[in-house]
Amino acid sequence: MELKRGTRVADEIIILPIGAADPALIEFLSLTVGQAFGRDVRAGWAAMAPDFAYDPVRRQVHSTMLIDRIEAMPHAGDPKVLGVTEADLFIPIFTFVFGEARLGGRAAVMSVARLRESHYGRDDDPRVLYRRAEKEALHELGHTFGLVHCLDYGCVMHFANTVEDVDIKGDGFCAKCERRLATRLNPRRSPG
Ligand SMILES: [Zn+2]
Ligand SMILES: [Zn+2]
C-alpha cells in the first residue's frame, strides 16, 4: 500500500515477509491489521531470510533472533513491524511458538507453519488458515502495543498453546484490552 500524503510514518505497521511468503496472505493480513488498529499498513518486501536464526539440531528458527534483527533494522519513524514466516519457530524453553513479540516494542514475528491444517495431517483449508493467521497477527501486534495475555477466552490476547486454543479464542479484543489499546494508539501528548 502506498503511503498517503501527509501520513505520519511513525504510525505505520509494516508486515514483513521472512523468507518465502504467500502474497495473498500478506495482503489479507495487511487489510485486517489495518482495520483492527486503525493504522496505515504496508508490506515490506526488503529481503529477509530466516536462515541466520535456523537451529540445525531443532530444525526450527529461533524467533527471538528474528525479533532482534528486525529491531536492529533502520526504519523511518517508529513503526510496528510484524514478521511473517513459513518457518517453524521456537524459543529455547518451548517446543515451538506460534509467534513472539517484544512487549511495548517495535517487533513481532509469527509463523504460519502450525496454522496450516496439513501440519496436523488434514486437508489444507485457506479459510481456516486465514482466520488463525488473523488472530495470531492481532495477538502479536497487540503485545507490541503493550497488551499482555488476557484471561478472557473470547479475547484475541488469550494465550494459545495449541491450534485448538487458537480456534476457540475470539478474533477481536475484549472490552478491557480494547480500552487499554486505545490509550496506546492515541496517547495523550502534552502540547508542544
Ligand atoms: Zn502472547
Ligand atoms: Zn482481553
pLDDT digits (tens, 9 = 90+) for 120-136: 999 999 999 999 999 99
Residue 10 φ/ψ, nearest 5 degrees? -60, -25
Distance 148 CA to ligand 1 centre (A): 7
The residues carrying an active-site annotation are 140
Residue 191 forms part of a structural domain: no
- Closest ligand by atom to 152 CA: 2
Residue 13 forms part of a structural domain: yes
Q: 64-69: list long-range contacts, CB under 8 Å, 24+ apart.
A: 64/91, 64/100, 66/18, 66/107, 66/109, 67/100, 67/101, 67/102, 67/105, 67/107, 67/108, 67/109
Distance 177 CA to ligand 2 centre (A): 4
- Closest ligand by atom to 153 CA: 2
Range of the domain at 107: 9-185
Residue 17 is part of a domain; what is its CATH number?
3.40.390.10
Residue 2 forms part of a structural domain: no
Distance 126 CA to ligand 1 centre (A): 23
Question: In total, how many domains does the chain have?
Answer: 1
pLDDT digits (tens, 9 = 90+) for 22-44: 999 999 999 999 999 999 999 98
Under DSSP, is residue 99 helix (H, G, I), strand (E, B) or coil? strand
What is the pLDDT at residue 189? 55
Name the amino acid, one letter, at 184. R
- Closest ligand by atom to 139 CA: 1
Distance 36 CA to ligand 2 centre (A): 14
Q: Which residues in the chain come in under a pLDDT of 70?
A: 1-10, 188-192
Residue 190 forms part of a structural domain: no
What is the pLDDT at residue 145? 96
Count other Cβ atoms within 10 Å, centred on residue 126. 14
What is the pLDDT at residue 7? 47
